[in-house]
Structure 1
Amino acid sequence: MIKKILLALLAVILLLSIFYYDVLSYGFMQARGQISILMNVEKVDDILSDQNFPDSLKRRIRLIQEIKQFGVDSLGLEPSENYTTFYNQHGRPLIWLITASERYKIEPHEWHFPIVGTFPYKGFFDSTRAVSEEKELMKKGLDTDIGDVSAWSTLGYLKDPILSSMLKRKDGSLANLILHELTHGTLFVKNNLELNENLASFVGDQGAIRFLKYKYGAESPEMRTYEYSKKYNDAYSQHMLRGTVRLDSLYKTFGNEKAADARKDTLKKQLIRQIIDDTDTLLSGTQTLTTKKRLADDKLPNNAYFISYLTYKSKQEIFLKEFESKFAGDLKAYLQYLKKQYPSM
Structure 2
Amino acid sequence: MTRSFFRWAVPAFIALILSGCSGAGYVAQSLKGHAGILAARQSASRLIADPSTPEALRSRMEAASALRQFASDELDLPDNESYRSYVDIGRDYVTIAVYAAPEFSLTPRVWCFPVFGCVPYRGYFSRDSAAKTVRELQQQGLDVYVTGITAYSTLGWSADPLLSTMFAQDRTYLASLVFHELAHQRVYINDDTAFNEAFAVAVEMTGVRKWLNAAGDAAGLARYEAGLKRNAEFVALVSKTKGELAGIYAGSGTAEKKRAEKAAAIERLRTRYRRMRDENWGGYGGYDNWVEGPVNNAKLAATSVYNDLVPDFLRLFDLCAGDYPRFYAAVARLGRLSGDDRRDALGSAQGCG
Taking structure 1 as the reference length, the TM-score comes to 0.85
Query: What percentage of residue pairs aligned between the two structures are identical?
Result: 23
Compared with structure 1, are the counterparts of its residues 336 and 281 closer, same or farther at alpha carbon in structure 2 (3 Å cutoff)? Answer: farther
Residue 249 (str. 1) matches residue 247 (str. 2) = yes
Letter in 2 for 1:271: A
Structure 1 residue aligned with 2:113: 113
Partner residue of 1:78?
78
1:33 paired to 2:7 = no
Q: What's the secondary structure of 2:141's corresponding residue?
A: coil
CA RMSD, aligned part only? 2.4
Query: CA separation in 1, counterparts of 2:216 and 2:252?
Result: 53
Of the candidates 324, 334, 341, which is equivalent to residue 341 of structure 1? 334
Q: Is the 8 A contact 2:248 2:258 kept in 1?
A: no
CA distance in 1, matches of 2:74, 2:325: 7
Using the alignment, how far apart are the partners of 2:211 and 2:263 within structure 1?
Answer: 42
Q: 1:130-182: per-residue Cα shift (whole Å, max 9, x none)?
A: 01101100111110100110100000001111111222322222211111100
What does 1:1-345 correspond to in 2, within 5 Å?
A: 22-217=22-217, 220-254=218-252, 261-282=255-276, 284-289=279-284, 299-324=293-318, 326-343=319-336
The amino acid across from 1:276 in the alignment is R
Distance 1:164 1:290 in 2: 25
> Structure 1's 296 and 180: CA in aligned 2 closer, same or farther, altered over 3 A?
closer
| Alpha-carbon distance in 1 for matches of 2:287, 2:66 | 36
Residues 274 and 74 (structure 1), Cα distance of their counterparts in 2 relative to 1, 3 Å cut = same
Preserved CA contact (<8 Å) 2:78 2:182:
yes
Shift of residue 92, structure 1, vs aligned partner: 4.3
Q: Give 1:28 shift.
A: 2.7
Which letter does structure 1 place at the counterpart of 2:257?
R
Q: Which of the pair has more CA radius of gyration?
A: 1
| Cα offsets for 1:156-213 (capped at 9, x unmatched) | 0011111112223222222111111000111100111110011111111111111111
SS of residue in 1 equivalent to 2:112? strand
Q: Secondary structure, in 3 states, of the residue corresponding to 2:99?
A: strand
Give distance in 2, aligned partners of 1:295 and 1:151.
19
Aligned to 2:4: none
Structure 2: distance between partners of 1:216 and 1:254: 57
Aligned equivalent of 1:14: none
Note closer, same or farther for the CA distance 1:290–1:34 as it changes in structure 2 (3 Å cut).
closer
Comparing 75-84 with 235-244, greater Cα deviation is found at 235-244
Deviation of 1:295 (Å):
8.9
The one-letter code of the counterpart of 2:155 is: L
In 2, Cα distance between equivalents of 1:285 and 1:92: 31
Deviation string, structure 1 residues 208-257 (Cα, Å, up to 9, x no partner): 1111111134xx221122111111112112222232222111111146x8
Q: Distance in 1 between matches of 2:291 and 2:180?
A: 33
77-86 vs 43-52, greater mean Cα deviation = 43-52
Question: Residues of 2 paired with 1:272 and 1:48: CA distance?
Answer: 49
Q: Which moved more, 1:128-137 or 1:266-275?
A: 266-275
CA contact (8 A) 1:76 1:336 kept: no
**Contact 2:47–2:61 (CA<8 Å) still a contact in 1?**
no
Helix, strand or coil at the partner of 1:185? helix
* 1:288-322 deviation line (CA, Å, top 9, x unaligned): 4479879998x331011111211010001211223
Which residue type is aligned with residue 230 of structure 1? L
Q: Provide the rounded CA distance (Å) in 1 between the counterparts of 2:223 and 2:150.
A: 20
Q: Conserved in 2, the CA contact under 8 Å of 1:106 and 1:306?
A: yes
Separation of aligned partners in 2, 1:171 and 1:288: 24
Gaps of 5+ in 1: 1-19
Q: Kindly tell me: are residues 214 and 267 of structure 1, through their superposed partners in 2, closer, same or farther at Cα, counting changes over 3 Å?
A: same
Compared CA separation, residues 136 and 331, structure 1 to 2 (3 A):
same
| 1:96-138 deviation per Cα after TM superposition (whole angstroms, max 9, x unaligned) | 0001111101001000111111010110000000011011001
Single out whichever of 227-236 and 182-191 deviates more from structure 2: 227-236
Please tell me whether the aligned partners of residues 68 and 84 of structure 2 are also in contact (alpha carbons under 8 angstroms). Answer: no
- Give structure 2 stretches of 5+ with no counterpart: 1-19, 338-353
Q: Number of matched residues?
A: 317
